[in-house]
Structure 1
Amino acid sequence: MSSTRTLGPFQVSPIGLGCMNLSHAYGQPPAFEQAERLLLQALDEGVTLFDTAALYGFGANETLVGQVLAKHRQKFVLASKCGMQGVQFSDGIRRVIDGRPATLRATCEDSLRRLQTDVIDLYYLHRWDKQVPIEESVGALGDLVHAGKIRSVGLSEVSAATLRRANAEFQITALQTEYSLWTRNPEIAVLDACRDLGVAFVAFSPLARGFLPGTLGSVDGLDAKDIRRAMPRFTPGNHATNLALLNGLREVAAEAGCSLAQLSLAWLLHRAPHIIPIPGTTSAEHLSENLGALAVNLSAAQMAKLDALMPSNAAAGARYNSINQTEVDTEDF
């Protein structure tokens, strides 16, 4: 397995780091000192792709990444996202999807300031604002490339058809969406479209939001603000059903001499050379464990067994609830 993978004009580590967990989504985030140690550990252990977004912590995650990593800026590829961010209303900050060119330009300036950098290497449209033609939003991002504010353009949670429309407007470097053993939707069309267009596929939640490592246990103890509480797969009934899926995976992991987390990441790395998973974590131990997946070699027979154990319809429950599902453009089984 190659020591790097191609991300547009960049060569990056085959496994990147999703930084969201350090500020957002899974309950109380870690203290600054712990988050700082984890980011620097990732850099020391060879991670060269760091992924954040304006949405995460409503700017807090970009601020964290900027404070910790700005002095190491030449050592890694920096990815962030626009088009979905927190907006202050009279009753507090709410998440808003807004893909209008003026908003994207303003968000980029805010991100550059928080990240303490002159240029963002890869800037994704976090969600396609369906009130704005994809060509209009992507054209605005292309203008940011020409202006030297960003180096390349990405898309998140879009279909193959939308990717092709966007790529006709401006070269897309990467498409990011959820992909793991229990979320196989990208196999419908997006993976092939990325390959055909020379677009990297960045897999977020490659460990199924903490499910695949087998350490989650009961969902009853999840923090009140944990986003998984609103996800159908993590309702107590569906979660109990899904836990049975891990039994077969444990057998393959034992045969391969690795953990469940390493097996899950190795499966992705073996699927295709244009796939780059970006697991997130707040744990130094889990970070090292995840990167250990690079040393796991899976045979064709083991890959086939994993596909049989976790087919497209294996997981009980939908990926998103009905409201969040309307916000994405991905194909569904």
Structure 2
Amino acid sequence: MIYKELGDTGKKISAVTLGSWGIGGAGWGDVDEEESVAAIAEMLEGGVNAIDTAPVYGFVNPKAEDFGYGFAEKIIGEALLGKRHQIFIATKCGLNYDREKGPASMYKSMTKEEIISGCEGSLRRLQTDYIDLLFVHWPDNKTPLEEVAEAMDTLMSQGKILHYGLSNFTAEDTAKLDDMLHVSAVQLPYSMVDRGSEELMIAAKKRGIGTMTYGSLGSGILTGAFRTKPEFAKTDMRSSFYHFFEEPMFGNIQKLLRVMDEVAKAHDALVSQVAIQWSVKKAFVDTAILGVSKPKHARQNCGAFDWEMTEEEMAMLDEAIRRYVESTE
């Protein structure tokens, strides 16, 4: 495993962060709780020292309370008992739903009340007395940014969070909030098939803001597992959240995969490991969030750094991305 400084936080975290959206089970098919705990253990054994989660990861899982709200956080809290201080935990706030209407009523809110109550709920589920990094999950485009800064300042002064960050915010709002109260990290989508956040991350790094990326494997398409167009269940997140499985994008990604196959073969590596290493070798990426719910995938993710891609191979992949992927966007 390799480690990078997360912005100017003074924290060195693994270049891979364990993601828990899939662990929660929401929109990813059936998830086995025991396997999820084993996958977490496998990632930690492989050198991962950072975990990303959110209250809404698992909001439809019937095993948990309140419509399954916070199921992923509960699994993580149990898995980290006795190990908490070895792990950097990032979670989120500001995405919620009406308890009487259920998960279909999800809404965004980054008011001071929502941020503070959301943080306190996460502390309980994670079984910890502090959170290393609390993100606002999505901007709500109505709450004054000053209120967000005030809420985060309150939580930091109380010792409930050590740092705060912004997930899916614009460059403009990130800069405004950073001027009010320093933003420690941003979280944005980034992968070989989605490079839209590059400029924002470069700007963030200039301000000393750390960068965490999600979607590094393109919802699985960059693992090479989907060589023919799949048919996902309507409830599966991949059927609606991503456009990688729609034509003409799907066909062009197959051309990119053939170039990735060449690199993987040269190093006796997996295609997924090529995608992971390509992402974290970018100077503006501090850590890539990778979702796992199975021990096998955890081992594969950690193995992405058992070899090193050459600069020539990086350039070859960048050219393939420009030719096949960006030409269809």
**3-state SS of 2:287 partner:** strand
Question: Aligned residue for 1:3?
Answer: 2
| Preserved contact between residue 51 and residue 88 of structure 2 (Cα < 8 Å) | yes
| Preserved contact between residue 40 and residue 298 of structure 2 (Cα < 8 Å) | no
1:79 to 90, 98, 108: 90
Encode CA deviations 1:232-272: one digit per residue, 9 max, x unaligned. 33236642443232112212222343211111111112111
Supply the distance in 2 between the matched residues of 1:192 and 1:90 (Cα, whole angstroms): 41
Question: Aligned residue for 1:248?
Answer: 259
Cα deviation, residue 93, structure 1: 4.9
1:65 aligns with 2:76: yes
1:22 aligns with 2:38: no
- Counterpart amino acid of 1:34? E
Question: Aligned residue for 1:326?
Answer: none
1:151 aligns with 2:150: no
Encode CA deviations 1:127-146: one digit per residue, 9 max, x unaligned. 01101123321331122111
Question: Aligned residue for 1:197?
Answer: 207
Supply the distance in 2 between the matched residues of 1:136 and 1:205 (Cα, whole angstroms): 29
- Counterpart amino acid of 1:200? G
**3-state SS of 2:134 partner:** strand
- Counterpart amino acid of 2:2? S
Q: Which residues of structure 2 form unaligned runs of 5+?
A: 60-69
1:225 aligns with 2:226: no
Identical pairs, percent = 27
| Preserved contact between residue 86 and residue 94 of structure 1 (Cα < 8 Å) | yes
Supply the distance in 2 between the matched residues of 1:165 and 1:273 (Cα, whole angstroms): 20
Supply the distance in 2 between the matched residues of 1:90 and 1:270 (Cα, whole angstroms): 44
| Preserved contact between residue 112 and residue 148 of structure 2 (Cα < 8 Å) | yes
Encode CA deviations 1:59-117: one digit per residue, 9 max, x unaligned. 11111111221331011111100011233233665321111111111111111111111
2:110 to 84, 95, 99: 99
Cα deviation, residue 312, structure 1: 8.7
Supply the distance in 2 between the matched residues of 1:256 and 1:185 (Cα, whole angstroms): 29
**3-state SS of 2:222 partner:** coil
Question: Aligned residue for 1:314?
Answer: 325
Supply the distance in 2 between the matched residues of 1:195 and 1:312 (Cα, whole angstroms): 28
Question: Aligned residue for 2:222?
Answer: 212
Encode CA deviations 1:163-221: one digit per residue, 9 max, x unaligned. 1111111111111111111111122x212112101111101111111010110344543
Please, which moves more after superposition, 218-227 or 199-208? Answer: 218-227
Supply the distance in 1 between the matched residues of 2:325 and 2:248 (Cα, whole angstroms): 15
Cα deviation, residue 152, structure 1: 0.3
Please, which moves more after superposition, 282-291 or 213-222? Answer: 213-222
Supply the distance in 1 between the matched residues of 2:230 and 2:283 (Cα, whole angstroms): 36
Question: Aligned residue for 1:56?
Answer: 57
Supply the distance in 2 between the matched residues of 1:205 and 1:155 (Cα, whole angstroms): 16
Supply the distance in 2 between the matched residues of 1:271 and 1:39 (Cα, whole angstroms): 26
Supply the distance in 2 between the matched residues of 1:36 and 1:300 (Cα, whole angstroms): 37
Supply the distance in 2 between the matched residues of 1:71 and 1:181 (Cα, whole angstroms): 37
TM-score (norm 1): 0.88
- Counterpart amino acid of 2:42? Q
Question: Aligned residue for 1:112?
Answer: 123
Cα deviation, residue 28, structure 1: 2.2
TM-score (norm 2): 0.89
Question: Aligned residue for 1:329?
Answer: none
Cα deviation, residue 305, structure 1: 0.9
Supply the distance in 2 between the matched residues of 1:109 and 1:175 (Cα, whole angstroms): 21
**3-state SS of 1:291 partner:** helix
Supply the distance in 2 between the matched residues of 1:311 and 1:141 (Cα, whole angstroms): 39
Supply the distance in 2 between the matched residues of 1:91 and 1:264 (Cα, whole angstroms): 36
> How many corresponding residue pairs?
316
| Preserved contact between residue 201 and residue 284 of structure 2 (Cα < 8 Å) | no
Question: Aligned residue for 1:32?
Answer: 33
| Preserved contact between residue 40 and residue 295 of structure 2 (Cα < 8 Å) | no
**3-state SS of 1:108 partner:** helix
